[in-house]
Amino acid sequence: MSLLTNVMDHSLDDGYAEAAARRKAGGQGLPGRLRAKLGLAAALLLAALVVTLGAVQARISAPTLAKEREQLINRIQNETSAADTLQKSVDGLRNSVGTKQRDVLRKHGGDKAELVSLLAGATEVQGPGVKIVVDDAKQAKSSGGGPRESSGFSDTGRVRDRDMQRIVNGLWQSGAEAIAVNGQRLTSLSAIRAAGDAILVDNRPLAPPYTVLAIGNGQRLSTAFQDSADGQYLHVLQQNYGVRASISAQDEVRLPAAPSLIVRTAQPGKGTS
């Protein structure tokens, strides 16, 4: 009972009562509206101080940032210039190697040096031929497992490496003398394969549409290819899977030399007469 009596008699903390008494005796208490205005003014002053300090800091650091930016621009320009110089050096070395390779082919090719160079892909060639342009179907979508990866066809409509292999082999079989795919010259050592959805020719990725140029008797080569099994295969891709393709005879096409030709010479084996 004494506890309840104490709570009832002292419901307000003694400290609050003392503070109220002092305020009443001294008359120093501030109205609530005035206190609010003073608080707002203090907040505004603090915000102005923060903004001012930020502006001063930004002004102080501006020269440093400008200097760092200029240094970064100079570094980019220097690296770009160095890369250009290296690229020119690579191009020069590649041309030098190509010249020496062609000299070796002429030296060991005898009277058939031009034919050997042509078959090896060591020289640029131009003449009549055919142009085949192959592209994915309009509704084709990328698939994580690669286009038509299974043994049978699927409805992705994407051109795959095996499609390009058949097209190229069909052109060779139809009488093509030289072939290039998207400017990449093919030789007897060239490989066409896939890496995911990408088609690689000699480890260089190609992007659709795929332009195949072949040197040969234009109209005759075009007809022979379309009548071949590989030409019919391409027709099936168009009709059944929406793959877009066109073939046309050309009065003149130009094919570059193979960029990474490796010259090999045969040596007689032991015991060979």
CA distance 18 to 16: 5
Say how many CA atoms lie within 13 Å of 15 toward its Cβ.
0
**3-state DSSP call for residue 2?**
helix
For 219-269, give the secondary structure using H, E and C.
HHHHHHHHHCHHHHHHHHHHHHHCCEEEEEEEEEEEECCCCCCCCCCCCCC
Q: Are strands 178-181 and 184-185 parallel, antiparallel or unpaired?
A: antiparallel
CA distance 167 to 173: 10
Residue 94 forms part of a structural domain:
no
Between 174 and 270, the higher pLDDT residue: 174
7-39 pLDDT tens trace: 566 555 666 666 666 666 655 555 567 777 777
Which CATH number is 167's domain given? 3.30.70.1880
What are 104's two structure tokens? 């070796």
Element (H, E) at 184: strand 184-185
pTM for this model (two decimals): 0.55
Report the b/e string of 71-106 with b at 16+ CB within 10 A: eeeeeeeeeeeeeeeeeeeeeeeeeeebeebbeebb
Cα 246 from chain centroid (whole Å): 27
Residue 175's pLDDT is 92
Least confident of 8-12, 26-30, 186-190, 197-201: 26-30
Residue 3 forms part of a structural domain:
no
Residue 163 forms part of a structural domain:
yes
Q: Domain count for the chain, please give it.
A: 1
111-161 pLDDT tens trace: 566 676 677 777 788 999 999 999 998 877 544 444 444 444 455 688 999
Residue 47 forms part of a structural domain:
no
Q: Are strands 210-215 and 125-135 parallel, antiparallel or unpaired?
A: antiparallel
Mean pLDDT on 238-251: 92
Mean pLDDT on 204-208: 88
Residue 73 forms part of a structural domain:
no
84-108 pLDDT tens trace: 888 888 878 877 876 776 677 667 6
**Domain membership of residue 250 as a residue range:** 125-140+154-255
Q: Are 247 and 227 in contact (CB under 8 A)?
A: no
Residue 146 forms part of a structural domain:
no
Least confident of 31-45, 175-189, 200-214, 257-271: 257-271
Instruction: Say whether pLDDT at 71 is over 90.
Output: no
Residue 212 forms part of a structural domain:
yes
Least confident of 90-99, 135-144, 198-207, 253-262: 135-144
Residue 251 forms part of a structural domain:
yes
- What's the Rg (C-alpha) of the chain? 41
Count how many residues are written for the chain: 273
Mean pLDDT on 67-85: 86
169 CB-contact burial (10 Å; exposed 0-12 / middle 13-18 / buried 19+): middle
Q: What is the DSSP string of 59-79?
A: HHHHHHHHHHHHHHHHHHHHH
